[in-house]
Structure 1
Amino acid sequence: MKFALSPEHLDFGASIRKLFESGSTTAAVRAWSADDPAPGRTLIEQLAAAGTFGLTISEEFGGLDAEPLDQLVAFVEIGRAAAPGPLVESAAVVPALLQSPATTDPEPARRWLPGISEGTLSATAAFAGRGGRAVAVDADRVDLVLVVDGDRMSTGRVGEPLRSVDPARRLFVVEADELVAEGPQVAAAAAAGFDAGVLANAAQLLGAGKALLDASTDYVQQRKQFGRPIGEFQALKQKLADVFIGLDLAEPLLYRAALTTATPNRARDTSAAAVACADAAYRAARSALQVHGAIGYTAEYDLSLWLTRVTALRNAWGTPDLHRGRVADALRAGTAVDHSGALT
């Protein structure tokens, strides 16, 4: 079995990366934080034209009916660019939430999914937590807010804004409004939607970690101390090598999870990927800050866009402890181990 991205996946990822290499992405992120969403919306329209939002939407609802792996390839590049907007929610979570209940009531899926796939309708989603409070990303800038509370799914009303460690991830409390669906199928859709968000978020973290490693590698080759590039010092070589190894080991866990989304091991593999990608990206962020020194602390320096993004995404879809607990629960339940040592 060859466990590697196909040439088609590599070409698709390269096309998404090229989309962000125009030089305007960092400006769009800063504008999004400063209440100027126009540049960010231009990027989102370009992503939609590339098919990003329709990848996991079935052809019945105007999508491409692609595999989860295709979507993760795109989200690695989205994370590498630190692109703004509720991209995880629009492309991964809302399609999962709407397509599962469509077996009993296809009307909501027919109403909203074609627009999401085309990029003409933006969406975000929130899951009610303890106390019933639900928090959504960029809820004031989208056409559709979905709120899931147990076995009930409703549209949402935008409430008070919340402070975010990442200014480009604008958070709002949302309240349930019009009922969209309810019943056991909604609870199942909520579980699938949550895992879809976790996995896309993990892919973003992996991409952000890679961007931070690239920035650090470039910097240590340019910055000089005692007449030598600081990248020649063994301590920095080892630090960046550890970052590379962490990212390299997290990547196959991410892609493995994409292959098991339709199996009973979905939650376990999704959480394993989430922990690995979050840990690797956080190490990349800490190392980048240490390597860059004082300049890395300044908001004006572009490195800060990735540092704050990693900090925010690390806990955005469940803390590392939550995901380690899900993996541990699966192991305690008697998950088998095959002869190669891989979890099955």
Structure 2
Amino acid sequence: MRFTLDSSHQDFASSIDALLSKADMPAVIRSWNTGDTGPGLKVWQRLAETGVNGLLVSEEHDGLGADAVDLAVAVEQLGRHAVPGPVAETVAVAPALLAQVSSDRLSALASGLLATVAAGPHVPFAVDADSADLVLLVDGATLSLGQAGAVQNSVDQSRRLFPLTAGETLGDVDFAPAFDLGALATAAQLQGLGQTLLDVTTDYAKQRKQFGKPIGQFQAIKHHLAEVAVGLEMSRPLLHGAALAVRDGSADSSRDVSAAKVACGDAAYRAARAALQVHGAIGYTQEHDLSLWLTKVRALITAWGTPAFHRGRVVDSLVEAS
């Protein structure tokens, strides 16, 4: 497969990166962690104005009518800046579900409404149901409005998890395509998180000195960071390939999404381990910005399907094809 992002993708990614770079995201995330979602919601509103929230919403309902490749490009940037809130749920999953049952809420999604989703067994909790404008529960083939129960804490303080009970029924849905979009968006977040961890750690290794020279000149540090860079470069084509498969309706799209989720998760986890090793224990303290990225990686690795589940889907697909 030959695939390269075109200039429109690159420009879109650059515009999102520029917007988020001006937002002091560590401060926004810390406010969200304490329950002050105001700064984060302002960021989300600015993202909506660039079209991020309405990427998968049809033009008929005030969205961009874009595809899974645009989704992966945009959400990777949200991951790079560790944007708090229900990212995959708002940008990818809710539009796919609502398009099957309802039209009146799609325009609201495109204009900045935040949505969250729970669907057992792989998505048992709804992220940030206390901050979302729309809370959805999928039970089998039934889509309902969800009512949040008691909050459950995550290793990532910006992710508050809520069990849901069913409220008003909205209709019947096919959840499988929406699940794949959620897993794809989570993989893109992990790819972006891993890239930031590599960039931050590389910069730190150039500045931190031991024995009179920057630690980045030591071969052991170089090897660690090189392995991280290789892992991220190898996972990105799988992410883009999965996005193409979803866009084109490939029969292997679920397998490709699972492969991307595993690869991006592994690459991000490797980046997190290297970042912590190079920075030392200070990197994991709440006072250091690095911790905001480290904990989000740890949380998202199991979000929208665990690595074991996704590896199982890849193996099952290959066995069936053999």
Q: With structure 1 as the length reference, what TM-score do the two structures score?
A: 0.91
Displaced runs of 4 or more, over 6 A: none
Alignment of 1:114 with 2:91, yes or no, is no
Q: What's 1:222 paired with?
A: 207
Q: What's 1:281 paired with?
A: 268
Q: Match for 1:157: what amino acid? A: Q
The SS at the match of 2:150 is strand
Alignment of 1:56 with 2:56, yes or no, is yes
Deviation for aligned residue 1:134? 3.6
Q: Is the contact between residue 134 and residue 175 of structure 1 (CA under 8 Å) also seen in structure 2?
A: no
Identity of aligned residues (%): 52
Q: What's 1:93 paired with?
A: 93
Q: What's 1:123 paired with?
A: 115
**Aligned partner (choices 126, 137, 144) of residue 154 of structure 1:** 144
Deviation for aligned residue 1:57? 1.2
Q: Is the contact between residue 153 and residue 159 of structure 2 (CA under 8 Å) also seen in structure 1?
A: no
**Aligned partner (choices 165, 182, 191) of residue 175 of structure 1:** 165
**Aligned partner (choices 148, 152, 155) of residue 165 of structure 1:** 155
Q: What's 2:283 paired with?
A: 296
Considering only aligned residues, what root-mean-square deviation do their CA atoms show, in Å?
A: 1.3
Label 1:314 to 1:134 Cα distance change in 2 as closer, same or farther (>3 A): closer
Deviation for aligned residue 1:295? 1.3
In 2, Cα distance between equivalents of 1:277 and 1:252: 10
In 2, Cα distance between equivalents of 1:142 and 1:67: 24
The SS at the match of 1:333 is helix
Q: What's 1:25 paired with?
A: 25
Q: Match for 1:152: what amino acid? A: T
The SS at the match of 1:263 is coil
Deviation for aligned residue 1:62? 2.2
In 1, Cα distance between equivalents of 2:23 and 2:139: 41
Q: What whole-Å deviation, never above 9, does each CA across 1:289-338 have from its counterpart, x for those lacking one? A: 00001211211100000000000000011111110000001000116xxx
Q: What's 1:141 paired with?
A: 131
Q: What's 1:338 paired with?
A: none
Q: What whole-Å deviation, never above 9, does each CA across 1:48-73 have from its counterpart, x for those lacking one? A: 00100111111222211112111111
Q: How many matched pairs?
A: 320
Q: What's 1:256 paired with?
A: 241
Q: With structure 2 as the length reference, what TM-score do the two structures score?
A: 0.97
Label 1:2 to 1:269 Cα distance change in 2 as closer, same or farther (>3 A): closer
In 1, Cα distance between equivalents of 2:114 and 2:195: 28
The SS at the match of 1:32 is helix
Q: Is the contact between residue 284 and residue 294 of structure 2 (CA under 8 Å) also seen in structure 1?
A: no
The SS at the match of 1:65 is coil
